[in-house]
Each structure stands twice: as structure tokens, then as C-alpha cells.
Structure 1
Amino acid sequence: MDILFTNGTIRTMERESPAAQALLVRDGRVAAVGSLAAVEDQAEIDVRRVDLAGRTLLPSFLDAHSHFTAVANQFLQADLSGCRSWADIQNRIRDYIRREHVPAGQWVTAQGYDHNQMSECRHPDRACLDAAAPENPVVICHQSGHMGVFNTAALERLGVTGDTPCPAGGVIGQACGVPTGYMEENAFLEFQKRVPMMPLEAFLGAYRKAQGLYASHGITTVQEGLLRRELVPLYQALLADGSLKLDVVAYGDEAGTAAARQAFPASVRRYQGHFKLGGYKMFLDGSPQGRTAWLRQPYQGEAAYRGYGPLTDAQVLDMVRRAGAEGVQLLAHCNGDAACAQYLAALETAAREGVDLAAMRPVMIHAQLLGRDQLPAVKRLGVIPSFFVAHVYHWGDIHWENLGPDRADRISPAGSAAELGIPFTFHTDAPVIPPDLLETVWCAVNRVTRSGRLLGAEERVDARTALEAVTANAAFQYFEERDKGTLSPGKRADLVILDRDPLAVPPEELRDIRVLETWKDGAAIFRREP
């Protein structure tokens, strides 16, 4: 049956295209869009009419970078977001153990604390977690995902002692030769993945909740931002029972990509049951709010410390060559400008060697401290910067302290990229922050911090440019511009209905717009309760 949307504002997000009066969906794809009379002429007799009642219809949003499994995992962990002290963390963990009836000896995981928001102004230690859960091994993950803390029982389970070698590009905190429980970057990631996973049925339920969360924000294409080998069986189960309703694009490390290729041989750059293997992901530094991003100049107040990169130049170049030889995309996590420089240098060398970068569409994830002087190389090499622009609001004041006013003003230089005609995308890095791309659009347009400070007015973009970053440009990043990102005939009917028009409201009201409905392939998958 045809579906006809009328009586509202329809923003196709096609360039130079005015708002349409009607949109026709047939067999999960857009069949026609334009004036009411022209679209009605193409509708079949048996048509279902959807009255927009003055609301606004757009192409649904594409998540340019986040961590789908980690978002699902939130529903299986204690939530530490908003904690303002170590005591808050302890109370949240105790409440979780009590509420979920966690038996003694079972692992407890928690995520979402931010030491920058703590009254103690530092990470908790293992003694803090021991007091909260004396009978359980505990690990808590920082909001950035780049660091965390284990309690004593967890360290003992994992065999971590003062003599444990630290993985390259990581830190295992010690005091007088004894682990404090704190770890960062590769050390934390390595030991975190050794924590036993929850039962399969629990994960499947959590994935369903995660999809509901994304859909409630108008997102129908999501990303598995680091597919490790351990996650592949979970995706096998998701595909086997038909649980995936959203499209998932996965980027793995070498082991994860190899395992996914073996499990899903048909998924390389094309969907197999809503799952697609997009390519590789590598980390070139950490996070600026955690002071592990790799900078060209030292952090504010430091004589020499600039953060660090976990990979050598040769390793980065090898990964670029591998992606090019295999014909897949490469995503590189680069927060600091030194990490950006390392990635750009490797791409430059690979291009001289004959690697087809245009076919690869390399992506620079976060690109927060990407320098304006580096943007010409980004354009020349065809790199797609995916800016974590919501940092302006969530951590802009912290960056002001860590980086100084000048560098803080220049984070996520979307305005400069737009001036050079560089296509870029925006993302939320969920679960670092909720997958709310309308908030991200608001951040890009207004660039206001939590304290109300205007951060880099010259890097603001208009609402249309910001919306393109989460629709048309994001579709291009995924090699899906023929199927998604705008509402033109032949494309998938992935739609979002908003209560107001983001191209007509005052800029400061963008994050107050509500998602009322989300449609995937011509079927409603989310409706907000009245």
C-alpha cells in the first residue's frame, strides 16, 4: 500500500530544493516528492494518508560515529552520569547491587563518571570502589571511554600486580609500586575486555532497548565504532533472531574485522540483515578532557606534556595501506592536532604510493583540535572530518582550562571546514553522551558552553549546514548517498517527523525540538506518546 504524507513542511535536504507539499512512499522507498497535485497523481488508489498536521518531515538522521554495543551495555550497568563526588559513585554502585540483586562474587560494571565534575577533581581509586562493593569485583568506565578504575577484587581476578607489564600506549596507575586501580587508553581497553560478558539473552534485550533509544532521537543508521572479536557472536545472535531493525555499520580492529568477515562473508560494504562491515578503526590518541589527546603544543600549565599516540608512524601507514589494498574504509580516532598530523602524513604517503584515497573515503573521528592550517591537506586528501562538536557544550569550559582560550575557541572547526567546501559530519560518540543529534545541531549552530560562554563564534555554522552533517553528509560518509540522506525518489523511506521546523525556529531553540515519529524503510518504528 502506498503511504502519502501531506499537510506539513517536508524538507528533502536536497540542495537548492524548496520545502515540498507531499511525499509518497511505496515498497519502503520514496516514490515521489513535490507538490500535492503532482504527488497525488502518482499514488495508487489504495493509499494510506498520513496527516502531518503542520509538523515537519525530514530524512532520518545517520549516526556518523558511536558505539552501538556500548549503548546497549548501558542498560546492563550502573549509571554514574551526573555524579559529583566519590560518595555519589559509591551510592550509585550500592544502589545498583541492591536493585539488581547482584550476588557476592559477580562482576559489577558501571560507566559515565567524569572526574572533571567531581568535587575531588580527580579519578577515584580502588579503595573508593572497595568500600562501595566489598564482595564484588568492580570496574567503572570514564564518560569518555578512554579510562577507568578497577577495585581490588577486580585487579586480583585479572591478575594485575605492580609487576604487570603495561600495554604500549596506555597507563596503569601505581603508588609505591602498588596498582591504584586507575588505567587509561590501551591499558584500560585491554583489561576491560577481559571482564566477563553478561548472558546472551540479557544482551539481546539490551540491544532492543538501545535501538529504541536511537529511534527516539530520529536515528535509523547507527555505528559499531569498534568491533572487537568478542562482539561478533553477539551480532550472530542478533541476525539469527531478527532483532536488528536499524542499520548498523561496523568498524573493527584487525582481529574483529577478520572474525566478522568469517561470520558474515556477505557483509563487507553491503548490508546482511541490517548489518554491514564498513572497514577498519584505529586509535591515534585519547581524549582532551582526560588530557590524553595528542597535541602539537603542551597542555595549558604544562612545560612539555602533550599527551601521546599509541601507534608508530609505520603502524599507521601499514593500516592505511591495508585498508586501501582491501578496498574498505578506514576510521582514525584523532582528537589532538598531533594525532591529526600523523594520520594526514600517512595518507599523504599512501596517496603517493598509489592508494586510491577517493575510493577509501578516510574518516577522521572527532577531529577536535584539527588545526585550521591542516584543513587544506584534509581537503586535498579527501578526508571526511567527523566532528564531536557537542564537546563545545559538554566540555567546552574544561577545554578552556586544559587548552587555553585560543585553542578552545578553535575546537571542531566546522565553520572553517565549510568555508573550504570540505564535507563533514557530526556525531555523539554515544554512550559518551546520549545519541541526540538535534542537541548536536544546536551545539554546532550556537557553540555555547555549560557556563554560557560563546566558544569560537567564527566556527559556528547555520542550521541547514548542521542538518546536512547528520543527513546527506553522513550518508556520503557511509557510501550510501544513493540510498539515504535526502528525500528524493528511489531512496529509502527513512524518515523523522519533528514538532517544529529546524530551519525556521530561532537557533537557540533547536535542541528543544521533539522527535515525534521515526520511520525505517517506510514503517514507523517509534512514536512518542502524547
Structure 2
Amino acid sequence: MNKTIYFGGPIITMEPDSTPSALLVEGGKIRKLGEKEELLALCPDAQLYDLKGHTLLPAFIDPHSHITSFANTLGLVDLDDVGSFDEIAQRIDAYRKERNIQPGQWIIGRGYDHNTLEEGRHPDKFSLDKAAPQNPVLIAHRSGHMGVANSLGLQELGIDASTENPSGGMIGRVEGSKEPSGYLEENAFIVLASSRMPRPSLEQLMDQMEEAQNIYASFGITTAQDGATRAAEWKLLESLAQQGRLKLDTIAYVDLKNAKEVMEGNPSYIEQYHNHLKIGGYKIFLDGSPQGRTAWMTKPYLGGDADYKGYPIYDDATVEGFMETALKEGRQILAHCNGDAASDQMIHAYKAAAQKLGEPADGRPVMIHCQLTRGDQLAEMAKLGMVASIYVAHTYYWGDVHLKNFGEERGGHVSPAGSAIRNHVVYTFHQDTPVLLPDMITTLWCAVNRVTRAGVPLAEEEKVSVYDALKGITCNAAYQYFEEDRKGSLKEGKLADLVILDQNPLEIDPKDLRSIQVLSTIKEGEPIYTKA
């Protein structure tokens, strides 16, 4: 049985009034905190781990991402940080040659952001045709809410001038005609295109999942989420679990609209782990992306159509039905809400369902993203026991775009973490991987500093302290998962899920938080990542 005493550096327990100088791990759990000599007397055969001035914390907990989707992207054309249509074409061409892709085979890429392209707009089928004239191509926007197909791709997907827009989505058209331009938005992209792409073999995906887990662990994470699990994703996760290839605790949230059978067919996994895998509840999507101008707002976007407010995915009755299903079954529900109209819809639907069925138990429904959530909505969320999982990295990565789309008042208050605290809402912070890497340290920096890529400071009152930011990726995240009794802080009896950082985040200049490096990640007493 592994017995280790950690000492010789700051230990941040995330427990009030707890400042031990050493920590004893035994059998994958925290046995005792105190002084080194005291712990050594209790367990004289324990190994000694000298922190050498480095900082020990509870391991980070990912409150929202899509780890299976991230694993899938590891085999695609990487379009992160491309700067132009020409660069997209160059990467597609290089990928085609490197992988020896034959004519007629699909080429799939992800990660472009029209907001940072020289052309200032989405590509179209014509630009992608130049990149791969003999291959069907589909590329996904960094948000995952939209993308572009080339001419052969549209042909393979059966999308032509006669294809109507699906509910909750839009097919881009060549100006002045009904001919598809290649641009596909929301359900036109997700349902008509992305869901129909050929998938790698199960074994290849399992190998990519191991790589994905290593990446998560390198950022200090020991608990990860699969935030919209359907049948294929569940098959992958369950296969990994059965083969003992999951080293992170992985919590699946079943796509309520499209894969309810996953919940119904796997009762033994519901809210309990088997080989590091469990089902946490349901997931639904209520709107789109603010940087993609598809998030559903109560007031119009700036620029373009003066009345345009984005749009919902479902009507109110459908969303209330989803909430009733979750409450009747006693399942936690997560709802993707970026715009404040989507936030209104979730709050009203959950409240109506709860009133109809009687006051629910501690369901901890989670509003995912909360980009434009208002103060009055946060106050209502507190009454409902609703968790705000805030995509706070938006402040840096898309803050300048939000100022352009929403103006200083709305755009400056995106990711309202300070307001969540003032309204007594339990909050967590996430990266929505694969949209961004699961980089918890950068997220910490974003929550504390709130500055855009261009260096523009956003609403000061929404900043949080370093300690409060740490809560969003440790103890509050454990609470979101109903795991506060076993994770999220360093306390006797909890799992020895630990992370060692090269600097103490509570002592360095907050502007330098991004310089912190993860040195080691430990899952139940065993290292799963060590910096080379």
C-alpha cells in the first residue's frame, strides 16, 4: 500500500483555517494532515516527498468539457490559430499529403475562428475547393457551433438548393440565390453534417483517448467531463473502462434529446463509478455561440440586422419537458446557455417543472457557460440551487469580439463571476475543451485579471480573488458533481487527488499567474503526470 508524506512547501488545502505543513497519503486517500514529525511517527514506513518549496493543492476538477470530442480532434486537421483562408488551405493540403488521403476520402478539420482571420469572415465552399478539389471537406469553427463544407462535402451530405434550414440552424447561401455557400450554422452543422462524419476505428479512438487523458493530466486535472454523451461516445468510454484504460475519473452527461437510451441501458453506471467511469446526469443545448453571433439574446447584437438577437434551439414547452424528465428521474441536468434569453429559458423551465412536480431534492442543475447571464438571473439561480459553470476564459480569448457584438456594458460583463459570488451562487470555471485546451492555470489568470487579447480591461466588479478563482476549479467543482465529500479539498478521508505547482498562486503577482507550471498530477496517491 502506497504511503507518502508530502512536506517542504506550501500546502493549500481549500479548507477554512487549515494550514498544515505536511500531508500523509495512504491507500489512495488522505490519512492525516499536520506536522511532518507527527505524521512520520504515525506512519514511520512512509516514503518522504520533499516539495522543495513547490506548492501542493487538491487536483483540478474539470466542470465542463467534451473529452471524447477532444480525443477525436487529435486525429483531425488542426486549424487552431490559422490567420487566413490561404493558411487553412495550406494545412489541409499538408494533412492530405502527410496522411496519404486518397481522392474521395473525407478530410475533417477543426479550430478556425473567423474573428481572427484576415478576411474577417467564415470561409466558403469555394475557398475549400481550392484546398482539396478531389476530397469532401468539412471544417469546424473553434466554438463547435458552426463550420464549412466544400462542394464535394455538400454533395456527400445531400445539402443543395432544395434543402431547408433545420430547426435551430441555418444553411448559408450564395448571395442572391438558394445555392449553399458551404457555411453551416448550429443544427445545420451539428445535425446535418458533423454527426454524419466517418469516425475512426474504436481502437484508434481508444488510443487517442489515452493521449487526451495525458493532456488533461498535464494541466493538473484528475476528474474530467464528457458533456454530451451519445451512443458512440458511451461505447468508447465503456470500452476504455472495461479495459482499465481510464486513469481520470470521467463523468458522462447523456444527451437527453438524442441518446436517452444510454441512461436507460446503463443503470449500474448512474451516479457511481466503475473503473473511473460514471453517468452524472443529462445535458441539453439551448442556444449557440456569442462570438459566432448565434447565442440567444433578449436585446439585439450590435452591427448587422438591427433586430437580430440570435435564436433558441427549442421552444419553451420542449425545454420544460426536458426539465420534468430530469426531475422525475432524480437526475442532474446541465444546460448550455450563452445568451441571457437562453438563461431565462432555463430558469423559467426549471422553475415551472419544479413547481409542477413539487419541490425537488437537491438537484444542483447547472447552467453551462453563463456568458451573458444577468444579475437578476443569478439571484434567481441562487434561489433554485442552480450552479453557474462560467466559461471565464472568454474574457481573454473573445473579450474584444464581445465588446464589438454587445457594447461596453453587456460585453464588459461577460463571464460574471463577481456577480455570481455577490448573489451567493455556487460557480465553477471551465474551458469547454476541445474549444480550448483544458488549461486550468490560464483560466485562473482570466478570472482574476479579466483582460482581453488586445489588452482591454473588462468590468472590474466581475474580477475575483485568486483564492475564489481556485474554488471554481477545486471545491466548488466537486460540489457541482456531488463529490464534495471525497474531492475538491485536502482533508482526512478524501481521495489523494493532488497537484503540485512550481509557484504558489496565492503569493505571486496575479498578473503572473499564467507563468505557473504543473509539475506533477497525482490520482489517488499515484502520479499520472510528471513534468519532464
Common fold by TM > 0.5? yes
Letter in 1 for 2:50: D
CA contact (8 A) 2:256 2:284 kept: no
**Rounded Cα–Cα distance in structure 2 between residues aligned with 1:275 and 1:105:** 38
Q: Where does residue 348 of structure 1 map in the other structure?
A: 351
Encode CA deviations 1:311-336: one digit per residue, 9 max, x unaligned: 11001111111001111110010001
Percent identity, please. Answer: 46
Q: Where does residue 36 of structure 2 map in the other structure?
A: 36
SS of residue in 2 equivalent to 1:517: strand
What TM-score, normalized by structure 1, do the two folds share? 0.97
Tell me the CA shift for residue 428 of structure 1.
0.3
Letter in 2 for 1:9: P
Q: Where does residue 162 of structure 1 map in the other structure?
A: 161
CA contact (8 A) 1:264 1:272 kept: no
SS of residue in 2 equivalent to 1:84: coil
Tell me the CA shift for residue 240 of structure 1.
2.8
CA contact (8 A) 2:142 2:435 kept: yes
Q: Where does residue 297 of structure 2 map in the other structure?
A: 295
Partner residue of 1:377 out of 373, 377, 380: 380
**Rounded Cα–Cα distance in structure 2 between residues aligned with 1:317 and 1:32:** 47
Tell me the CA shift for residue 256 of structure 1.
5.6
**Rounded Cα–Cα distance in structure 2 between residues aligned with 1:358 and 1:11:** 32
Matched, 1:413 2:416: yes
CA contact (8 A) 1:62 1:220 kept: yes
Encode CA deviations 1:489-522: one digit per residue, 9 max, x unaligned: 1111110000001111110111110000000111
1:115-130 equivalent positions in 2, closer than 5 A: 115-130=114-129
**Rounded Cα–Cα distance in structure 2 between residues aligned with 1:64 and 1:503:** 22
Encode CA deviations 1:137-171: one digit per residue, 9 max, x unaligned: 11100000000011111211121111123321001
SS of residue in 2 equivalent to 1:8: coil
Tell me the CA shift for residue 403 of structure 1.
0.5
SS of residue in 1 equivalent to 2:101: coil
Structure 1: unaligned runs, 5 residues or longer: none
Encode CA deviations 1:40-97: one digit per residue, 9 max, x unaligned: 2322x32111111110000000001011011111210010011111001000111111
Encode CA deviations 1:108-156: one digit per residue, 9 max, x unaligned: 1100000000111111011111111112111100000000011111211
Q: Where does residue 75 of structure 2 map in the other structure?
A: 76
**Rounded Cα–Cα distance in structure 1 between residues aligned with 2:509 and 2:250:** 33
Q: Where does residue 109 of structure 1 map in the other structure?
A: 108
SS of residue in 2 equivalent to 1:353: helix
Q: Where does residue 460 of structure 2 map in the other structure?
A: 457
Partner residue of 1:468 out of 468, 471, 478: 471
Q: Where does residue 403 of structure 1 map in the other structure?
A: 406
Letter in 2 for 1:323: A
1:488-507 equivalent positions in 2, closer than 5 A: 488-507=491-510
Q: Where does residue 3 of structure 1 map in the other structure?
A: 4
Q: Where does residue 136 of structure 1 map in the other structure?
A: 135
| Structure 1 residues 366 and 483, CA gap change in structure 2 (3 angstroms) | same
Letter in 2 for 1:155: L
Structure 2: unaligned runs, 5 residues or longer: none
CA contact (8 A) 1:227 1:256 kept: no
CA contact (8 A) 1:62 1:475 kept: yes
SS of residue in 2 equivalent to 1:404: helix
SS of residue in 2 equivalent to 1:76: coil
Q: Where does residue 516 of structure 2 map in the other structure?
A: 513
1:64-463 equivalent positions in 2, closer than 5 A: 64-175=63-174, 176-190=177-191, 191-254=193-256, 257-261=259-263, 264-301=266-303, 302-463=305-466
CA contact (8 A) 1:228 1:255 kept: no
| Structure 1 residues 355 and 214, CA gap change in structure 2 (3 angstroms) | farther
**Rounded Cα–Cα distance in structure 2 between residues aligned with 1:323 and 1:355:** 13
| Structure 1 residues 165 and 397, CA gap change in structure 2 (3 angstroms) | same
Encode CA deviations 1:222-260: one digit per residue, 9 max, x unaligned: 110111223222123212322111011111223665343
Letter in 1 for 2:216: Y
Encode CA deviations 1:262-305: one digit per residue, 9 max, x unaligned: 55331101112211111111111101100001111100134210
Letter in 1 for 2:228: L
**Rounded Cα–Cα distance in structure 2 between residues aligned with 1:165 and 1:499:** 55
**Rounded Cα–Cα distance in structure 2 between residues aligned with 1:35 and 1:162:** 73
Q: Where does residue 18 of structure 2 map in the other structure?
A: 17
What TM-score, normalized by structure 2, do the two folds share? 0.97
Tell me the CA shift for residue 208 of structure 1.
0.7
SS of residue in 2 equivalent to 1:377: helix
CA contact (8 A) 1:517 1:524 kept: yes
**Rounded Cα–Cα distance in structure 2 between residues aligned with 1:452 and 1:319:** 41
Letter in 2 for 1:148: G
CA contact (8 A) 2:254 2:263 kept: no
CA contact (8 A) 2:257 2:284 kept: no
